[in-house]
Structures are given as C-alpha cells and as structure tokens.
C-alpha cells in the first residue's frame, strides 16, 4: 500500500483542511470522546482523552464492586482474577504477538526493571545498549538493575550517540554493537522528543547478529503504530496505555515476552505472576505462570485497568491500520503546513519527513519554544514543550481533525510573527 500523504493538490487553506475532514473515515470517532470545551487538544502522546467507552468500563467495574464485593474476582463479567491476561489477549494483535505473550500489569518503569533484570539474570548479561535520546526513566531503571548486580552503569550502560540531536540511526546502533560486547539492546520504538519511528526489525536483526537480545519501549507507538513483534523476532517490550490507547492517567501498563523466554525466572517476582491454577494454595515457593503472565507482580489494580478495556473497544472498532493511516496523513499535513506557513518565522521540523519513519507526533523547533507553548495554552491549544527547543504537536487520529491542525498552525504563526511570546516569562534558568 502506498504511504498516505495529503497529495500534490495540497493547499494551506482552511477549505482544503475541511475537504480532508469530509473525506476522513474516522471522523465520527471523535464523538466517542470527551473533548474539553474550547480546546484543540494536541497532547495525545502524553495523555489520551477519556472516551465514553472507557467511562462505561469503569462504571461497570464500580457497579460490580458495589454488587459483588469480593465475589467480583470470580463472578464479575469479565472476572477480575484473569483481567490482566484478558487485556493482554486484546492488546496482542496491536503488537503482532501471540495472546500468551502479552499481559497487562505494573507500570512501564516497573516492567523495564523486571524484564531487563530477568534477561540479565537468565543470560548472564552485563552490558545494555541504549541511546542518548531516550526517555530518562529507561536509563534510571536499567542503571538500577545493573547496580543491583554489582555492575557500574558508567561502564555497563552504553549509549548510542545521535549525530543530529534528533534521531538514532540503525547504522549507529550497528557501529556500537561492532565496537562493544553488548548483551541487551534496549531502544524506544519512537523517540519521545523528535517523534522518529525507529526500525524495530533492523535493530532486532542487528542485535541478534551480534549475540544480543532486543527489547523495546513502545510507549510512544502502541495504539497508533501497528507492530509485528513476533514476525520481527523481538525478545521483549514494554509500553504504557495512557497515551494513544487513551486508558487514563496512571493506567496499567503492558508488556510482551517472546515465548522462547517463558522459562526465564522473573527478576521481580510477585504473587500475581504465580501460576493461576495454584496461586491460592499460598505456597512459599514461587511457581511462575507458564507465559507472559509470570511478569505480573502485585494484584491487578482493577479500577486502573478497566478504562483500558473500554478504550480498546474504540481502537479495535477503528482498526489499528486505519488509525495509522490517518495519523500519517495528519502528521504529513502538519509538516506541509509548517513548511508553508512557519518556516519563515524561525520554526523547523525536527521530525523525519518520511511518514514511514514518524510516530504520531511532530516536533516543531523554535528558539522560543517554551514561551510559544505557554502562549498556545492560553489560546486553548494543548501541546507540550520539551527542552531545549521543541513544541510537540500530537494530533491523535482518534479525535483530532485536519481543520484543528490548520488552526493550530495559524496560532503558531500569529504568536511568532507578532512576537506575542514576549508577554511570557522565560523558563526558569533562562532557557526559553
């Protein structure tokens, strides 16, 4: 299928944006979300919006709690006892995995701890390769796991350096693997600042060619980018569900473990990862589940998992391929508008221009990015700022249309052209 783009007939007009909205097969899905009044919400890669479906799922669980109390663990529909496994089954098609290879549990950071720790122990690993554009929590967790094993992170946590401060190339990963003895390669699927979509298949291939395992943090892609973890032979992955999966603040996280690692002993064992058939025998010896469920730790927080159940109804109804197609169109449209309307005012696109190499957001760089983001918020445009110079614009395909993107670009132009950002104080420390 050809890569979706807005086409050669692109025009930077509101009328063209409305034409795109009229042709959007997913436009009606916006009606299933609570979109804040008078806001253009462009921050879906930080926190997705609440849907009626997520709300209904929470209400159902609360009603079950009222009616069934403790019997909800066995008598609710679906029963709470297997909630993590059931939601894992529903997530599996989005990442190209077998149902037994995906489960929900814990938080993303905790899942990094347990999966990286597991792989270090199982295969006597000592060195992990990351990159210098990672989200910080990945490094915090991995460094902690290395220290737990008496390994100095300054020596054993290696970083692939970015050549341009925006992207990480497969060639740079390959060079690091050829230079160092690496046991685990752990990379994001999408860089949180620039929005670059990394080549999961190629990085996995390179890792395996050099005797390393390949793990991924897919927080900025699951729900907007389809993955093929099994087909790409990925070893393990983690992700959150409150971004493009719209499961709510602090929602439960997901994880993937390739079935060839099912015999590995979880590094952070807990009773919810015990074999379900004998869990309530209360044996002091841990018997892990025979699949990804083993990497659950504490009791599933049902109220934090329920909205994911509802939000997945929206994702599956829309279809992950259709969501990806619209997302690529939205970001292509945004990039084209930025070139046409913003480039002469000091803005630069810091995201790869090839839609196939982008996640779901676009990084707009400007020397006054911090103050511009503040001015946008006062206009009801919700974005976020990432230092030193990025305004992240994330038009979620679930509930954002093309005309909304057009109006945001016009606001960005007005703020810069008329230097309206001067009304705002620089960021503390003098960074703007």
Catalytic residues: 135, 217, 242-243, 392
**Rounded to whole angstroms, how far apart are CA atoms 109 and 140?**
9
DSSP state of 84: H
Number of Cβ atoms within 10 Å of the Cβ of 297: 20
**Rounded to whole angstroms, how far apart are CA atoms 254 and 134?**
19
Number of Cβ atoms within 10 Å of the Cβ of 378: 11
β-strand partners of 159: 130
DSSP state of 77: S
**Rounded to whole angstroms, how far apart are CA atoms 150 and 54?**
44
- The upper half-sphere exposure of residue 75, i.e. CA atoms within 13 Å in the direction of its Cβ, equals 10
- Burial (CB count <10 Å: 0-12, 13-18, 19+), residue 299: middle
Q: What angle do CA 385, 329, 373 make, to 5 degrees?
A: 15
Q: Which residues contact 290 (CB under 8 A, 6 or more apart)?
A: 262, 275
Helix (H) or strand (E) holding 237, with range, is strand 236-239
DSSP state of 288: B
Instruction: Assess contact for 80 and 396: CB atoms under 8 A.
Output: no
Helix (H) or strand (E) holding 333, with range, is helix 320-337
Three-class SS state of 323: helix
**Rounded to whole angstroms, how far apart are CA atoms 27 and 15?**
16
Q: Which residues contact 215 (CB under 8 A, 6 or more apart)?
A: 115, 116, 119, 184, 185, 186, 187, 234, 235, 236, 237, 238
Q: Which residues contact 281 (CB under 8 A, 6 or more apart)?
A: none
């Amino acid at each position: 299928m050809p890569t979706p783009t807005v086409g050669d007939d692109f025009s930077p007009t509101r009328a063209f944006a409305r034409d795109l909205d009229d042709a959007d097969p997913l436009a009606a899905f916006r009606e299933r979300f609570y979109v804040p009044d008078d806001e253009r919400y462009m921050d879906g890669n930080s926190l997705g919006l609440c849907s009626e479906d997520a709300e209904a799922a929470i209400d159902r669980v609360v009603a079950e709690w009222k009616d069934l109390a403790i019997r909800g663990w066995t008598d609710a529909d679906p029963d709470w006892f297997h909630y993590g496994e059931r939601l894992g089954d529903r997530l599996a098609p989005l990442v190209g995995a077998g149902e037994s290879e995906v489960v929900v549990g814990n938080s993303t950071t905790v899942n990094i701890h347990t999966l990286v720790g597991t792989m270090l122990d199982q295969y006597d690993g000592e060195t992990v390769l990351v990159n210098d554009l990672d989200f910080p929590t990945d490094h915090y967790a991995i460094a902690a796991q290395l220290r737990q094993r008496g390994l100095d992170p300054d020596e054993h946590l290696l970083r692939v350096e970015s050549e341009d401060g925006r992207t990480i190339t497969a060639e740079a990963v390959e060079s690091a693997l050829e230079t160092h003895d690496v046991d685990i390669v752990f990379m994001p699927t999408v860089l949180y600042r620039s929005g670059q979509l990394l080549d999961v298949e190629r990085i996995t291939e390179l890792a395996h060619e050099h005797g390393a395992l390949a793990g991924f943090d897919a927080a900025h892609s699951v729900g907007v980018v389809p993955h093929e973890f099994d087909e790409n032979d990925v070893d393990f992955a983690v992700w959150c569900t409150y971004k493009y999966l719209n499961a709510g603040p602090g929602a439960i996280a997901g994880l993937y473990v390739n079935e060839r690692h099912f015999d590995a002993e979880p590094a952070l064992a807990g009773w919810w990862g015990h074999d379900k058939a004998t869990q309530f025998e209360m044996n002091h010896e841990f018997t892990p589940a025979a699949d990804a469920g083993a990497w659950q730790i504490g009791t599933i927080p049902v109220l934090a998992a329920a909205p994911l159940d509802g939000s997945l109804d929206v994702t599956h109804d829309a279809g992950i391929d259709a969501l990806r197609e619209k997302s690529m169109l939205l970001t292509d449209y945004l990039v084209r508008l930025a070139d046409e309307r913003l480039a002469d005012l000091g803005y630069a696109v810091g995201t790869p221009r090839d839609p196939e190499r982008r996640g779901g957001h676009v990084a707009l760089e400007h020397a006054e990015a911090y103050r511009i983001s503040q001015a946008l918020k006062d206009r009801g445009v919700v974005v976020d700022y990432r230092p030193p110079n990025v305004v992240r614009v994330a038009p979620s395909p679930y509930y954002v249309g093309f005309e909304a993107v057009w109006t945001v670009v016009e606001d960005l132009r007005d703020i810069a052209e008329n230097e309206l950002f001067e009304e705002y104080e620089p960021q503390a420390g003098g960074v703007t």
